[in-house]
Amino acid sequence: MKNVLVTGGCGFIGSNFVQFVLSQLKDCRLVNLDKLTYAGNLKNLVEIEDDPCYRFVQGDICDADLVNQLFADEQIDTVVHFAAESHVDRSISGPAAFIQTNIGGTFTLLEAARNAWNGSFEGKRFLHVSTDEVYGSLGDTGLFTETTAYDPRSPYSASKASSDHLVSAYYHTYGLPTLMTNCSNNYGPYHFPEKLIPLIINNALNGKDLPVYGDGKNVRDWLYVKDHCAAILAVLQKGEVGQTYNVGGNNEKQNIEIVQSICDILDQKVGLLPSGESRRSLIKFVTDRPGHDRRYAIDASKIKNQLGWEPSVTFEEGILMTVDWYLANPEWVASVVDGSYREYYQQQYGEEV
Ligand code: NAD
Ligand code: TYD
């Protein structure tokens, strides 16, 4: 792991990962290839942008010439592939970009690795970062394991499932040294405020409605983003090629519980609303997301037993750190909640943010 190509390193998890790796490893070089879509932000990495072990390249993972050139110029031996269109609601209103980036972009990277490494796979690794959403929706009981059959329900999860199948095919067909992680919902610093937790923090701070889809009883298994980064590094360093590792927080919560706990934390930290009411009074149940998966929950025993990874941060600790980060970084939020976000919000929620 000397010359690492990180794709999507300016997004939420990618930027946490770049910072995490540079703080942990001294002898590797990171090349971050990111298109800087609405979800990518150079401000996420200002603290390390001058690090001699780091290089940023603005570009598209679907651009085969660029990707091939990077493999050659940088002698890439490791790929950590985050770049994707990642928001389910956007995949419902506009699926094309998901097909292009998530499937086409992954294909381009796999082909570039196959051509550059040309059968010489010693010391090479291609880690594909995926999601638990490929497994579909659980009922009240049960957990997703690495052998659960794929059953994606949204254009987002279907595009991620397709990319997972391509990765697996390149391992079986060409012997490409692939690894895969399927992780549950992340939360933490630099999370774009279209996703539930940062959206609720931002709206609750500004006294805006807190939109909860359906009955609010859909369940997600939340993991603090730095724990996900540690899991990815563990898989890179100790994982067995060709294997998939499920990563989760052992922390199932209904959406309504998440929203209520953020309201309570903010009431305590910044005071009640000017009306004297709790922020819980801002909760508004809105029309459900079409095809809304009811419950996700991960069995993470394989990565724990085989690689010794487990979450280090409880949800109670993680959500406090996250709220504190958003309170301390209002200028970051202001910079990402720009014109295009306002337009998206108006379309998605039928009101101004
Ligand atoms: P994100 O949307 O915050 O960031 C995606 C990044 O990819 C952005 O920086 C964007 O500019 C970049 N990008 C998009 N299209 C690109 C292209 N064509 N070429 C180059 N760069 C491009 O996403 P995230 O939440 O950080 O998720 C990262 C990865 O982790 C995704 O593959 C996602 O499926 C997976 N994942 C996310 C979660 C989660 O809870 N957020 C959970 C499990 C897995
Ligand atoms: P999200 O953060 O979009 O992640 P995902 O759909 O990938 O799990 O949503 C998390 C949960 O919160 C999901 O059940 C949908 C719900 N949700 C709301 O209730 N209101 C919202 O405004 C958003 C964005 C999500």
348 falls within a domain: no
> CB neighbours (10 Å) of residue 51?
14
Could you identify the atom of ligand 1 that is nearest to the CA of residue 37? Answer: 11
Mean pLDDT value across residues 75-87: 98
285 falls within a domain: no
183 CB near ligand 1 (under 6 Å): yes
pLDDT at site 353:
87
**Closest alpha carbon to 153 in 325, 310, 294:** 294
Distance 7 CA to ligand 1 centre (A): 9
Mutation choice for ligand 2 from 93, 132, 184, 213, CB with most ligand atoms inside 8 A = 213
What is the distance between the alpha carbons of residues 212 and 286, in angstroms, rounded to a whole number? 6
Contact 241, 179 (CB under 8 A): yes
211 CB near ligand 2 (under 6 Å): yes
Per-residue pLDDT tens over the stretch 278-318 = 999 999 999 999 999 999 999 999 999 999 999 999 999 99
pLDDT at site 339:
80
Query: SS3 breakdown of the chain: % helix, strand, coil, rounded to 5?
Result: 45, 15, 35
13 CB near ligand 1 (under 6 Å): yes
Distance 186 CA to ligand 1 centre (A): 12
Could you identify the atom of ligand 2 that is nearest to the CA of residue 212? Answer: 19
CA 96 to the chain's CA centroid: 19
Alpha-helical (H) ranges within the chain are 12-24, 64-74, 88-93, 96-98, 106-117, 155-174, 196-205, 225-238, 255-270, 301-307, 315-328, 330-336, 339-349
- Percent of the chain surpassing pLDDT 90: 98
pTM for the model stands at: 0.98
242 falls within a domain: yes
255 CB near ligand 2 (under 6 Å): yes
For tokens 């009922």, name the residue. 139
Give residue 35's domain range.
3-191+225-250+292-314
Per-residue pLDDT tens over the stretch 137-196 = 999 999 999 999 999 999 999 999 999 999 999 999 999 999 999 999 999 999 999 999
pLDDT at residue 109 greater than cutoff 90: yes
Tell the residue nearest (CA) to atom 32 of ligand 1: 82
The ligand placed nearest to the CA atom of residue 5 is 1
Q: Hey, which residues are catalytic here?
A: 132-133, 156
The ligand placed nearest to the CA atom of residue 104 is 1
31 falls within a domain: yes
pLDDT at site 5:
98
DSSP 219: E
44 falls within a domain: yes
**Closest alpha carbon to 14 in 165, 182, 129:** 129
CA 332 to the chain's CA centroid: 18
What size, in residues, is the chain?
A: 353
61 falls within a domain: yes
Residue 129: is it exposed, middle or buried by C-beta count within 10 angstroms (0-12/13-18/19+)?
buried
Q: DSSP letters of 305-336? A: HHH-----S-HHHHHHHHHHHHHH-HHHHHHH
Confidence band (pLDDT; 50, 70, 90) for 206?
A: very high
pLDDT at site 131:
98
Distance 267 CA to ligand 1 centre (A): 32
pLDDT at residue 201 greater than cutoff 90: yes
pLDDT at residue 338 greater than cutoff 90: no
What is the distance between the alpha carbons of residues 160 and 145, in angstroms, rounded to a whole number? 17
Mean pLDDT value across residues 266-286: 98
List phi, psi (to 5°) of 204: -65, -35
340 falls within a domain: no
Contact 180, 130 (CB under 8 A): yes
The ligand placed nearest to the CA atom of residue 14 is 1
pLDDT at residue 123 greater than cutoff 90: yes
Residue 109, token pair as written in the block: 């990277």
> CB neighbours (10 Å) of residue 323?
22
List phi, psi (to 5°) of 337: -85, 65
pLDDT at residue 65 greater than cutoff 90: yes
The mean predicted confidence, pLDDT, of the chain is 97
Distances (CA, A) of 118 to 32, 172, 179: 23, 15, 18
43 falls within a domain: yes
Distance 6 CA to ligand 2 centre (A): 26
8 CB near ligand 1 (under 6 Å): yes
Contact 102, 94 (CB under 8 A): no
CATH of the domain at 86: 3.40.50.720
Distance 143 CA to ligand 1 centre (A): 24
The tally of domains found in the chain comes to: 1
pLDDT at site 62:
98
34 CB near ligand 1 (under 6 Å): yes
